Structure 1
Amino acid sequence: MKQLKVAREQQVAVFGESGSGKTVLLSSFYGAAQEPAFLKQSLFAIDADDTAQGRKLHQFFLGMKNAGATPPTNRFSATKYVFSVKRRPRAMEKGKKAAAEELRLVWHDYPGEWFEEDPSTPEEVTRRAETFSALVGSDVAVLLIDAQRLTDNSGEEERYLKALLTNYISHVSRVRDELLPDGQRLVRFPRVWIFGLSKADLLPDVDVTTFRDLLVEKVGQEMSLLQEELAAFVEEPEAFSLGEDFVLLSSARFEPGRIDVGHQVGVRLMLPIAAMLPFSRYVRWAKALRTGGKVASELVKYAGSAITFLTALKLPGKLKIFTLVLPFVADPLLEFSTAKIQAAYDTAVARHDFLAAVLLGFRLDLDRAVEEQVLVESTK
């Protein structure tokens, strides 16, 4: 009998100016997942669907690890990377043979130069809008703030931050006119926008709360303006958040002549952020949109797909009440303690339920990051 293949695809879009660390972040994410230490302790392996792309990212990672060389910049190139998260051959191998379950991550890398330089021709305006439109299927977008630029502007951080957010606002406004010529708003669009501090190792005394407070203090008005610009893309803009979630990201520790790739902060969170951070948000928004409609249906579809993997478990305690009757279901993960989610995770591992174990493990990763002051997660 042919086995059922279960696939769940999450998409994340990463935005940042040139030099903000997007390529280093991506290379570190993929390269670290190929290291024996990761594979030994992880339930899953991460493979690039495009072998050549994966080899290049791994090459960049090894160049940092062994030669202290940073990856070359890739100017004006908007690239999509697709990764498959698969059960390791020896992970959870006991028990009955499982279905060919799979989780996929699509990572969109948006050209940083497009935030800094005006388009030179109408054709370039159109190309930028078309590239931006390719990202509308993403679940989460990450806006990078460069710690090196903050360090260079120490004491006057608002100079850099205001210029950066003004560039974001101008670019978004320009592509919106091209992308939505008839003013028809989108049902499918990244509804969770996170600020990430890239190269966070340069600011070792800054935790994620300090990072959040710096942005709110220095550029709170610009954050609100950017939120308005992006919310104008989406139908039901109340189901949208920007500047409510923050994360520290350090791809490695950079020292003179050496790059310590074993010292990472937040890089492994990229998968949990894409796969599970929007989950409870979508549940709450779907409940709030009691009038129903296309947006509520889209949110239900997203949240329901995650619950589908979790309902198959005989979970401990209240976690057994998972149901697909949305939008009236209670928030099924955040209302439970980390200890109960840990118990559910242990049950999933014991039952060899791969996807449920991975998703619950991601929820635990997010909880741990909040506890360690690496992540601020909105409760709205």
Structure 2
Amino acid sequence: MEQNKVAREQQIAVFGESGSGKTVLLSSFYGLAVEQLLSGTEQFDVLAADNAQGRRLHQNYLGMKNSAVLPIQNRFAATAYAFSIKRKPGTASKARRKAPEELRLVWHDYPGEWFETEPSEPAEEERRIDTFRALLGSDVALVLVDGQRLLDNAGEEERYLKALLTNLSTQLLKLRDNLLEDGKPLVTFPRIWLMALSKADLLPDMDVIDFRDLLVEKAGAELNKLQDVIATFVEVPEALSVGDDFVLLSSAQFEPEKIEVTKRVGLDLILPIAAMLPFSRYVRWALAMRKGAKVAEHLLRVARPVADFIGNDRLVVLLARLPGPVGNAVALIGPFLMQTVLDLAGTKLLDMHAEAKAKHDFLNETLTGFQLELDRGDGEKVLLRSRV
């Protein structure tokens, strides 16, 4: 579907070593959505853009739920999965802007084997480069830390964590020259890199603050190195957040001969993270910039759907004028954007959500609901967001 027919599209890139749980995570996310068990699905449907992909993910989920069978690992397979988030048929809408597909999530799965092995032939190396190019439109990247590997290295977690982060930094460096045209840093690139504990059910006593502390204590230098490496990819590296946000993820509760797919952790946060986490940070970064006009323009374009939140026609018009003198645009729209950031971070959010629901405004109700879900994740110590 054309980008201009989607009110908001967000892409998320997922990185993790082989066996870290990427396929199980995605299958559980989609299966729960199909069964209307994912938060928000009482209001909207999550539909796979590719029916065959959707059936495979649903089949994986049913195999876990009914037969305690884990999905077969799809080695060296680089796949993008697109999901439409649509209002349920028959529900009224009074939203000002109509779109056949109001929200869309594109999930990029980067094969874990590519962090662990060198290309066996030039064609495979080219596939790695093409795969990474495909995910450059993502604003958010998840780096999975395998809970099972932490257990296997209990007391010596640094052995695993240092290797994980070093491998990621090394592979990114190897890709860099092929991704940067004439060595010029990129405007569009994942700028928020979350650290995600996968298989969190294996560590039930660890909350997200404990997870953050473990990473910083055991592999703080390697996390800083990863940030330095990623900064070399982007124009205006000040607009970058690496290892400042943390989330716990568990696809299910795994027991001998039984997988409880409804006992999950963090899966309800995936859509809110992808759709809303960049918003306030991008606004702050853009408004603080004194140079980097193209980057400021990109950040403001990502934040553009905020106009729907506050119903301010002047803001809609100003954002529509981009591109142009970005400094002037920032000066004009800054107060409107910042007020909305404050509203979404404060008590007014509940009022905004209730008003959108009363007006049957699907887009606003969904996005404010996502923001409430992020706040809930913080409160339950499943999510830890940077305050910078």
TM-score by length of 2: 0.90
Equivalent residue in structure 2 for 1:343, among 351, 357, 365: 351
Distance 1:50 1:293 in 2: 37
- 1:277 corresponds in structure 2 to 277
- 2:306 corresponds in structure 1 to 307
SS at match of 2:341: coil
Matched, 1:376 2:380: no
SS at match of 2:114: helix
- 1:114 corresponds in structure 2 to 114
User: What amino acid sits opposite 1:114 in the alignment?
Assistant: W
Distance 1:229 1:59 in 2: 38
Sequence identity percentage: 57
SS at match of 2:196: strand
Distance 2:39 2:147 in 1: 30
Matched, 1:326 2:335: no
Output one character per residue of 1:94-127: Cα deviation in whole Å (capped at 9) or x when no partner.
7799834510000000000000111233443332
1:133-212 to structure 2, matched below 5 A, reads 133-180=133-180, 182-212=182-212
SS at match of 2:265: coil
Shift of 1:147: 0.2
Distance 1:155 1:39 in 2: 36
Distance 1:265 1:39 in 2: 12
- 1:361 corresponds in structure 2 to 369
Distance 2:12 2:20 in 1: 17
Shift of 1:288: 1.1
Alignment RMSD, CA only? 2.4
Distance 2:187 2:351 in 1: 36
Residues 96 and 367 of structure 1: is their aligned pair in 2 closer, same or farther, counting only changes over 3 Å? Answer: closer
Shift of 1:71: 0.6
Output one character per residue of 1:198-239: Cα deviation in whole Å (capped at 9) or x when no partner.
000000000000000100000000001111111111101110
Shift of 1:332: 2.1
Higher helix share: 2
SS at match of 2:70: coil
SS at match of 2:340: coil
Residues 175 and 68 of structure 1: is their aligned pair in 2 closer, same or farther, counting only changes over 3 Å? Answer: same
Q: Does the CA contact (< 8 Å) of 1:313 and 1:348 recur in 2?
A: no
Distance 1:50 1:18 in 2: 25
Residues 33 and 72 of structure 1: is their aligned pair in 2 closer, same or farther, counting only changes over 3 Å? Answer: same
TM-score by length of 1: 0.92
Q: Does the CA contact (< 8 Å) of 1:129 and 1:176 recur in 2?
A: no
- 2:60 corresponds in structure 1 to 60
SS at match of 1:182: helix
Shift of 1:37: 4.3
Q: Does the CA contact (< 8 Å) of 1:283 and 1:326 recur in 2?
A: no
Shift of 1:65: 0.5
Residues 6 and 225 of structure 1: is their aligned pair in 2 closer, same or farther, counting only changes over 3 Å? Answer: closer
Output one character per residue of 1:16-49: Cα deviation in whole Å (capped at 9) or x when no partner.
0010000001001100001144599621110001
Q: Does the CA contact (< 8 Å) of 1:142 and 1:194 recur in 2?
A: yes
Distance 1:345 1:52 in 2: 35
> How many residues end up aligned between the 2 structures?
370
Distance 2:306 2:95 in 1: 22
Distance 1:196 1:109 in 2: 14
Question: Which consecutive unaligned segments of at least 5 residues does structure 1 have?
Answer: 315-319
Output one character per residue of 1:304-335: Cα deviation in whole Å (capped at 9) or x when no partner.
2x212213289xxxxx9xx8563623252345
Output one character per residue of 1:71-108: Cα deviation in whole Å (capped at 9) or x when no partner.
110000100100000001244x3779983451000000
Moved more, 133-142 or 114-123: 114-123
- 1:317 corresponds in structure 2 to none
Distance 1:337 1:234 in 2: 28
Deviant stretches of 4+, over 6 Å:
94-98
Distance 1:293 1:117 in 2: 39
User: What amino acid sits opposite 2:377 in the alignment?
Assistant: A
Output one character per residue of 1:271-300: Cα deviation in whole Å (capped at 9) or x when no partner.
111100000000000011133510001011
